[in-house]
């Protein structure tokens, strides 16, 4: 496993649409392993392939719950309901947070690293993370959907 550098906002790769994964090979497995390590070190809840410089429909989410790390290859939101408006950030936009409206519940269909299809549901933060990461695969950053950015004094120091 190796750490990969996280691309920052302003890099055009973050504005591009990613291509579907067709080969479920060693290269995909090492990308997923590297992304997992990179996410852990960065202490984020999700990371998408374009954030490590690859235009592939691959992302990972780990909100620290019992499901642990979720690997999503070629993910699609197939159902959603409800609404939530909470603060959201992105590893490509350090120290910036904004309020974004997202569905409260989503169902995602995706493939695992071996190409097997599965569906997974997310509620609250997990639904938000799925939406945020899948947006990255279409070249969309949360700041394009933000209702308002938080002021520095509103950002809780942890």
Residues ≥6 apart with Cβ < 8 Å to 117: 109, 110, 111
Q: Residue 40: helix, strand or coil by DSSP?
A: helix
CB of 73 to Co ion, least distance (A): 18
Using CB under 5 A, which of the segments 20-28, 87-95, 117-125, 144-152 binds Co ion? 87-95
- Residue 58 touching Co ion (CB under 5 A): no
- Residue 35 touching Co ion (CB under 5 A): no
Among 6, 32, 60, 90, binds Co ion (CB under 5 A): 90
Using CB under 5 A, which of the segments 5-13, 69-77, 89-97, 116-124 binds Co ion? 89-97
Cβ(134)–Cβ(110) under 8 Å?
A: no
Query: How many angstroms separate the CA atoms of 110 and 147, rounded?
Result: 29
Phi, psi (deg, nearest 5) at residue 33? -65, -45
What are the catalytic residues? 133
Give contact residues for Co ion (rule: CB under 5 A).
90
């Amino acid at each position: 496993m190796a750490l990969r550098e996280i691309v920052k906002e302003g890099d055009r790769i973050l504005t591009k649409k990613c291509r579907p994964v067709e080969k479920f090979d060693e290269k995909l497995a090492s990308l997923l392993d590297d992304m997992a390590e990179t996410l852990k070190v960065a202490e984020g809840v999700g990371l998408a392939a374009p954030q490590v410089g690859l235009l592939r429909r691959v992302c990972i989410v780990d909100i620290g719950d019992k499901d642990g790390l979720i690997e999503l290859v070629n993910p699609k939101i197939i159902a959603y309901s409800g609404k939530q408006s909470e603060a959201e950030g992105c590893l490509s936009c350090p120290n910036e947070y904004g309020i974004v409206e997202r569905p409260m519940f989503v169902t995602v269909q995706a493939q695992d690293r071996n190409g097997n299809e599965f569906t997974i549901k997310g509620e609250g933060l997990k639904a938000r993370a799925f939406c945020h990461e899948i947006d990255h695969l279409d070249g969309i950053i949360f700041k394009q959907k933000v209702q308002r950015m938080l002021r520095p004094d509103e950002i809780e120091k942890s």
